[in-house]
Structure 1
Amino acid sequence: MTLIPLAMRDGVNASCVALPNLDQGGTVLAFLQQRFPNVATEVWLARMGAGEVVDEHGVAVRADDVLAGRLGLHLYYYRDVPNETVIPFQASVIYENEHLLVADKPHFLPVMPAGEYLQQTLLVRLRREYDLPELTPLHRIDRETAGLVMFAKQESVRGAYQALFRERRIHKHYEALAPWRPEYAYPLEHQARMQESTDFFRMQEVAGEANSHTIIEVMEHNDAWARYVLSPISGKRHQLRVHMAALGMPLLYDSLYPHKRPVNTGDYAQPLQLLAKSIRFTDPISQQACEFVSQRQLLPLPAVGFQDVCP
């Protein structure tokens, strides 16, 4: 267990950055300015003046401290998001025992603090509401995706539950709305090689040995749309969205992998039609069979064609 020299504040752990291994020259302030160009110098000076930037030994650093005296160490600091946008949707907790908590997340709420989201995240909200400082997500779903997220309540049990995901002993099923493609035979198994795209944060399918695998089934359909059940066998980032788009079935209101750009990512009336609907596994501690089902619902099947919904 890594010891963090700054205590959790308002449900958020201190952030950490590794100092470069430089033999000479450069100050802590200069490094932070270069590493975080979007953070004003005055912000770093204020944080250091308040003793809120420390090394891994808990020693407060000063702006003019030289890097050469702190080789191989890390800096810890409290991050703030001024004027953070309030996400007007609430998660619900559908299960809780001594070790585990299962939340049903709404669309648009991030799981973890990152970028422009800090307090307005599922993890921080749950830590504060349930007074669970060790609460840790066992997996993640995209901010745009709704549905189930599992959390370990104590550091001591996290590894046992994470092994379920690592060893593929978790069975997850998603629901999605996408164009109906009658030319495919269902259930459809799609395997492909995925890697990062040159377009920031997006993934893509490329030639090569498959490293991702999804099973696609159909719940219902009309002439233009279908409600699919997507079962990821592997767990690549954006896997379901990338696979469906590659098959000519881009998910309704997908801003990253759409049929046509752009989709308004800030429009709460157009949530990505992807829902982490169910999770099934054997609890590694109690050895009891567990299955949880999201109470959230996607939209009804549109009555008009794709070009009318996503012009």
Structure 2
Amino acid sequence: MDQQQSKLLRHAQTQHGDNSTDIDNIFVNRATNVNKNIQPPDAPSPECVWFHQIDNENGNSPEVTEEEQKTEKQSQLSTTNEGQAAEKRKATTFDEISEAKKIKYESKHPKATRPGFNEDRFEETSYYIENGLRKVYPYFFTFTTFTKGRWVGDKILDVFSREFRAHPAEVYQRSIEAGKLTVNHEIVPADYSLKHNDLLANVVHRHEVPVTAQPIRIIHMDEDIVVVNKPASIPVHPCGRYRHNTVVFILAKEFNLKDLRTIHRLDRLTSGLLLFGRNANKARELEQQIRQRQVQKEYVCLVEGKFPDGIIECNESIEVVSYKIGVCRVSPKGKDCKTTFQRLSNVGDSSLVLCKPLTGRMHQIRVHLQYLGYPIVNDPLYNHEVFGPLKGRGGDFGGRSDEQLISDLISIHNAENWLGIDGDIDTVPLQPISVKDNAIKNGISLNSAPAVNLPEQSVATQTGHDEPDCTFDVSKVTTDPDCHECKLNLRDPVEKDLIMYLHAWKYKGIGWEYETELPAWALKDSASEKLT
């Protein structure tokens, strides 16, 4: 295995949680390589060496000469004048390291848990369907994080007000005073200055953003892989304001497809093909194919204007302007990128375009279309005047610096953190408004969910699970007098908030190929004939 393959394998094991390497073994393997005498003689060779030394281009470990072995042996046998073994640099035994790590790992420390989601997480709350939307009953959740370097010395209230903008400062003030926001499991005042390694825990009453009630449809499933057609508006995995309203949670909670390993991702508003591995080996195999650009990907999208004839190639490098809010731009300082585009048909003043990304950069198709001057029709981010009068065409952002661009994007409210609020926040009632109260106010029936057009086969029918009961149950509604969002009239998202005209249509790798049905917006004219 060469160096490149070794790096890929190590990365895959880290992301997918290979059973052969757990948190303990990472540190044990590191200690083993630092002091090779602590590994027991009958221990099997690890599948992947995590920390190793390389002294040549072939990636081989350096050979130890006979003289070096003899010197090391004599050093180990040396004793003090009193006949006792030297203790100054005594090696820790394998059992001692294992036991020490086991004690730390099995502690009740909030961070001392294995990665992933256990049954308790899945049972935090449940779903109900209303107005064609999948909604989550509000639930209590504890966010934990260790103090970051830039926070050290700052007051805890200042840090939360500055770093976590989901709520105003007075909400965090009340949480601190009520003992819901703690440091190292202890209640502290609002002017407490954070120290290195402080553990912050914040108990919140969480309201998730609704997503479409369109079902997730399985394209293919076997013992190694699950391929689904993801509806727009549903994130792949927990992020931001989404947790239970994500693909991985929905598949696990409602259809018992648990422990899926993410191979690639789609933007929340993008629909289409999504692949999951059901074991670490398959996940590594497909992930390596994608990383080594051995997978052919085809997307369809609807863009503004009449796209040029022929095959248009864009090779502009893409740079991430801000990971925090998820924004990219074309920049010579970015990573290499290549996408080919071909117009399939005209749809009124728009064009249906076939996209083939040859690399896999963040927001690649969306950014390249913005640069070419043909942004996706309803892209809430890259088809916006915040990028200047030309909306970023040709890399022209109206003279804005990256810092100004980020500030302006935050000020117009980042589309990826959508939160609909009816009316002026300052005029909302002071008493908590429950899900039930909002429903009654808006004339929504609580006894039955509206009809949703389902395809012939949903995930439930293909996994042998019955369709869950998603009618509204008032007994599952919770409120919190200290919760800021319980006091707001939250409106339902409308179609423009839930969909973007970009669809992952076909993926083809080594020995496999998958394809989804096309969304309705891509079948408005004869374009479907060209696609098929």
TM-score scaled by length of structure 1: 0.72
Shift of 1:111: 1.1
1:208-264 Cα distance to aligned partner (Å, 9 max, x none) = 576111011232336743221101111111110111121121112111111657999
Residue 95 and residue 16 in structure 1: after superposition, are their counterparts in 2 closer, same or farther (change >3 A)?
farther
Bigger Cα displacement from structure 2, 93-102 vs 74-83? 74-83
1:286 is aligned to none
1:10 is aligned to 122
* 3-state SS of 1:164 partner: helix
Correspondence list, 1:125-274, <5 A: 125-155=250-280, 157-178=282-303, 179-182=305-308, 186-197=310-321, 200-207=325-332, 211-221=336-346, 224-258=349-383, 266-268=493-495, 271-274=499-502
Residue 216 and residue 84 in structure 1: after superposition, are their counterparts in 2 closer, same or farther (change >3 A)?
closer
Residue 165 and residue 27 in structure 1: after superposition, are their counterparts in 2 closer, same or farther (change >3 A)?
same
2:514 is aligned to 292
8 Å CA contact 1:20, 1:71 repeated in 2: yes
Structure 1 alignment gaps of length 5 or more: 55-59, 283-288, 304-311
Residue 34 and residue 62 in structure 1: after superposition, are their counterparts in 2 closer, same or farther (change >3 A)?
farther
8 Å CA contact 1:11, 1:125 repeated in 2: no
Distance 2:178 2:223 in 1: 41
Residue 78 and residue 209 in structure 1: after superposition, are their counterparts in 2 closer, same or farther (change >3 A)?
closer
Residue 128 and residue 81 in structure 1: after superposition, are their counterparts in 2 closer, same or farther (change >3 A)?
same
8 Å CA contact 2:300, 2:503 repeated in 1: yes
* 3-state SS of 1:295 partner: coil
Structure 1 residue ranges, 4+ long, deviating more than 4 angstroms after superposition: 11-16, 24-49, 70-80, 259-266, 300-303
2:490 is aligned to none
Distance 1:201 1:209 in 2: 15
Correspondence list, 1:9-158, <5 A: 9-10=121-122, 17-20=145-148, 36=164, 38=166, 40-41=171-172, 61-63=185-187, 81-82=206-207, 84-155=209-280, 157-158=282-283
8 Å CA contact 1:147, 1:294 repeated in 2: yes
Identity %: 20
Structure number with the higher strand fraction is 1
Bigger Cα displacement from structure 2, 256-265 vs 294-303? 256-265
Residue 35 and residue 223 in structure 1: after superposition, are their counterparts in 2 closer, same or farther (change >3 A)?
closer
1:118-162 Cα distance to aligned partner (Å, 9 max, x none) = 111111101212323321321111111110111122345432322
1:173-218 Cα distance to aligned partner (Å, 9 max, x none) = 1001123233x5x222111021134794321112457611101123
Residue 209 and residue 107 in structure 1: after superposition, are their counterparts in 2 closer, same or farther (change >3 A)?
closer
Shift of 1:93: 1.4
8 Å CA contact 2:342, 2:354 repeated in 1: yes
Letter of the 2:250 partner, please give it. Answer: R
2:79 is aligned to none
Residue 76 and residue 236 in structure 1: after superposition, are their counterparts in 2 closer, same or farther (change >3 A)?
farther
Shift of 1:20: 4.0
1:276 is aligned to 504
Letter of the 2:274 partner, please give it. Answer: V
1:255-304 Cα distance to aligned partner (Å, 9 max, x none) = 1111657999743157311100011112xxxxxx211111242415779x
8 Å CA contact 1:81, 1:117 repeated in 2: no
TM-score scaled by length of structure 2: 0.45
Residue 160 and residue 301 in structure 1: after superposition, are their counterparts in 2 closer, same or farther (change >3 A)?
closer
8 Å CA contact 2:214, 2:231 repeated in 1: yes
Bigger Cα displacement from structure 2, 257-266 vs 147-156? 257-266
1:26-68 Cα distance to aligned partner (Å, 9 max, x none) = 999997787646475566898979xxx99xxxxx84446x999
Residue 33 and residue 145 in structure 1: after superposition, are their counterparts in 2 closer, same or farther (change >3 A)?
same
Letter of the 1:272 partner, please give it. Answer: M
8 Å CA contact 1:11, 1:133 repeated in 2: no
8 Å CA contact 1:91, 1:105 repeated in 2: yes
Distance 2:251 2:369 in 1: 32
Shift of 1:75: 7.2
User: Aligned pairs, how many?
Assistant: 285
Shift of 1:10: 0.7
* 3-state SS of 1:243 partner: helix
Letter of the 2:240 partner, please give it. Answer: G
Letter of the 2:314 partner, please give it. Answer: H
Letter of the 1:181 partner, please give it. Answer: F
Letter of the 1:233 partner, please give it. Answer: L
Distance 1:162 1:300 in 2: 29
Structure number with the higher helix fraction is 2
